[in-house]
Structure 1
Amino acid sequence: MNESAMISELDLEIVNALQINPRAEWSRVADALGLSGPTVARRWNTLAEQGQAWITPSPGQRYLNTGWSAFIHLSSTPGESEDLLERLCAEPSFATVSLVTGSHDIFMDCFASSHAELMDIVTGTFPRLPGITHREVVFVTKLYRQASEWRSGTLEPARARLVSAEPLPEQAGYSPDHLDASLLEELAKNGRATWAELGAACGVSPQTARRRVERFLAAGYISLRCDTSTSAQQGLREVTLVLNVPAHFVDDVGRYFAALPNCRLSAQVLGAQNLVVTLWVRDYLEVQAYERELAERAPGSAVMSRQAVVRTYKRLGHVLDESGRSRKVVPLPLWK
């Protein structure tokens, strides 16, 4: 399979299995797909080497208990857009950077290990970047759904259940340390690195590496997610709605969008708007149906912005080429 080829149906099934359980043993994935473990591993390794698919750490449902996040909208001077996008992709704190339609040119998310660090990024980063004519920052205050929970649905339900991970024992809250941060950085480079590889890279035993990783996954601070290039997205188009919903409806509306199979993100925010929702659709006309449903569920709601992604330059730390393939990784500073 050359780099320009479409991903096969079998590869899409492997990707879906790893969306469900990103660190599933190859033998388990193979049993679900009726293949051998070495065959599944070889096909995945080919996808990963080509940048067609990858697994990386992602903020979990309880990440906001330990870290901070914001969405940032930017407008830029047309002649300086490419230079600006390149500089934004090089900034570790900017996880996802997309060129979008609408009143702003660029939409991105930002992560920081503390409120002070986030404020330093917001106030200190942009004056030294070229071509910015306007910026708008909103802080994320509550997550209803995140991209790591999205599934392509390629696998039949019975096969999907075969690869589902058993829930880890619930972990009480704690303060992540430098070892946790180091393990996350290594997982950003290779989300399927073995416990021995992770331990060796961080100077600890494989058992310690496993215990620490399973601890922050069970605590809900971090999740792992499988992302893919454009060729694996099967014609889906990414649309973000920026909404202002009456306060007494916002939780219900956030949960409504979160329950949709094609919802990638549903988050409450602090700004002129109070809800940001990202959907993957096959036809832009689908968005009108969701807006009609919003008007029925939450009278008085307003759509502040509609943004269709023209191109994603960076996704959760992975810098992408024109075809959406991962070309390099800039690990996120989720913890320090």
Structure 2
Amino acid sequence: MQESAILSELDLAIINALQIRPRGEWSRIGAALGITGATAARHWERLTRERLAWIATMPGPRFADSGYAAHVFFSAPPGYHAELAEQLCEEPAAATVTRVTGEHDFRVDFFTSTHESLDQIVSERFSSLPGVARTETAYVTRVHRQSSMWRSGVLDQQQSRSVAAASAATRSRRTAFDAVDSALLDALGDDGRLSWAELAGLCAISPQTARRRVEQHLASGYLVLRCEFATSVGLPVREASLVLNIPARHLEDAGQYVAGLPNCRVSVQVLSVHNLVATFWVYDLNEIHAYERELEARAPGTVVISRSVTLRTYKRVGHILDREGRSIGRVPLPMWQRE
């Protein structure tokens, strides 16, 4: 791997700052890191140019109020994995596609605007593909933690607070959605740090309108911006997941406990044969066993339905990834598209 592709400590600090505040001003980020805003911007430009880091758009925790989110698990013989991964990546509703160990071979995060569209995609299109032996769908009913909330922890507390400091102005929440919103969110999907003027120019509206609408969607929880990076050249983390069946009386507390763990990427309640899915980024897979023991103590009767380690991520919130985890393309999510 070329030396230029390795993330430096400063690169990782900038990424951490953008995890906290994806559209944060370079002057504020630079001040928190002890560098100039121009230096921070220059490093970010290199990271994006080399496809090592990017700002992604994804449905927020309130998306499930009006749309449908689901984890779908696919099983297929190894000889069909490459073809299945390619076709899953081409599907706009399949936001994240991973190949995993365990009972199933693929886990896919789907987002659609209607139950019918999700059923058509899973039951009609993918279940009938050659080699697909089994599918299992779990509808997300409550989000305790989503991946946009994960932090690398490179910055210290003071630096994190400095980056996070924001205006006290109250922003209204936007619930309507039209063609202008669709254009704005699609443009942000290509570059989440486009200036308000650049967004306005792409969408033929004023910068004030661009800013107002995007900030209203962010405030509503419908939209989330998330800083992603190629973990293969950054932090040596491994992704592992637990699929759990928690006794109903403990479900809410267990979901909140998992969400509070610093290594937790995802903690969601689902409606299926299991009721909680948790994903972690850890440095040592033994950490997963410790989480299991704590869950068993906190929620007696908990059953682990499956444990899995991610072998490869082909797609993450619409971005196609190469083997090193670089973003090499994007398939826009369907909920941004309106007539």
TM-score range, shorter chain: over 0.9
Provide the residue aligned with 1:300 in structure 2.
Answer: 301
Moved more, 257-266 or 74-83: 74-83
Question: 1:158, 1:215 → 2: CA distance?
Answer: 28
2: CA distance between counterparts of 1:80 and 1:168?
53
Indicate the residue corresponding to 1:280 in structure 2. Answer: 281
- How many angstroms apart in 2 are the aligned matches of 1:31 and 1:85? 43
Give, in angstroms, the shift of residue 169 of structure 1: 2.4
Q: Any idea what the Cα deviations from partners look like across 1:174-219, whole Å, max 9, x if unmatched? A: 2322222221111110010111121122221111111110000011
Offset from partner CA, 1:287-316 (integer Å, 9 cap, x none) = 111111111111111000101001101111
Q: Deviations over 1:137-178 (max 9, x none)?
A: 110010000000010010111111111052662534623222
The Cα offsets for residues 85-144 of structure 1, whole Å up to 9 and x where unpaired, read as: 111111111011011100111111000122232222222321453421111111001000
- Residue 153 of structure 1 aligns to a residue whose secondary structure is coil
Paired residue for 2:115?
115
In structure 2, relative to structure 1, the CA distance for the partners of 1:297 and 1:164 (3 Å cut) is same
- What corresponds to 1:152 in structure 2? 152
Which residue pairs with 2:125 in the alignment? 125
Work out whether residues 245 and 298 of structure 1, in 8 Å CA contact, stay in contact via their aligned partners in 2.
yes
User: Bigger shift: 173-182 or 144-153?
Assistant: 173-182
2:73–2:135 contact (8 Å) kept in structure 1: yes
Give the structure 1 partner of residue 142 of structure 2.
142
1:319 aligns with 2:303: no
Pick closer, same or farther for the CA change 1:170–1:199 going to 2, 3 Å. Answer: closer
Q: Where do 5+ consecutive residues of structure 2 fail to align?
A: none
- Aligned-residue identity in percent: 51
Aligned length: 336
Range moving further from structure 2, 171-180 or 255-264: 171-180
In the alignment, is the contact (CA less than 8 A) between 1:20 and 1:165 conserved in 2?
Answer: no
The alignment yields a C-alpha RMSD, in angstroms, of 1.6
- Are 2:12 and 2:234, in contact at CA under 8 Å, matched by a contact in 1? no
Which amino acid in the other structure matches residue 17 of structure 1?
A
Structure 2 contact 174–216 (Cα < 8 Å) conserved = no
Matching residue of 1:227: 228
Distance 2:172 2:120 in 1: 31
Correspondence for 1:267: 268
- Encode CA deviations 1:40-82: one digit per residue, 9 max, x unaligned: 1111011011111010112212111122100011111211211
Does residue 1:58 correspond to 2:58, yes or no? yes
Residues 174 and 213 of structure 2 are in contact (CA less than 8 Å); yes or no, is this contact kept in structure 1?
A: no
Is contact 1:83–1:130 with CA below 8 Å preserved after alignment?
no
User: Contact conserved, 2:96 with 2:108, CA < 8 A, in 1?
Assistant: yes
Q: CA deviation at 1:232?
A: 4.8
Give the corresponding residue for 1:40. 40
Counterparts of 2:333 and 2:129 in 1: how far apart (Å)? 19
Distance, in Å, in 1 between the alignment partners of 2:116 and 2:3 is: 42
In the aligned structure 1, how far is the partner of 2:131 from the partner of 2:198? 42
CA drift at 1:5: 3.3
Task: Classify 1:170/1:249 alpha carbon distance in 2 versus 1 (closer, same or farther; 3 Å).
Answer: farther
| In 1, Cα distance between equivalents of 2:330 and 2:55 | 11
| Letter aligned with residue 63 of structure 1 | F
C-alpha distance in structure 2 between counterparts of 1:180 and 1:203, whole Å = 12
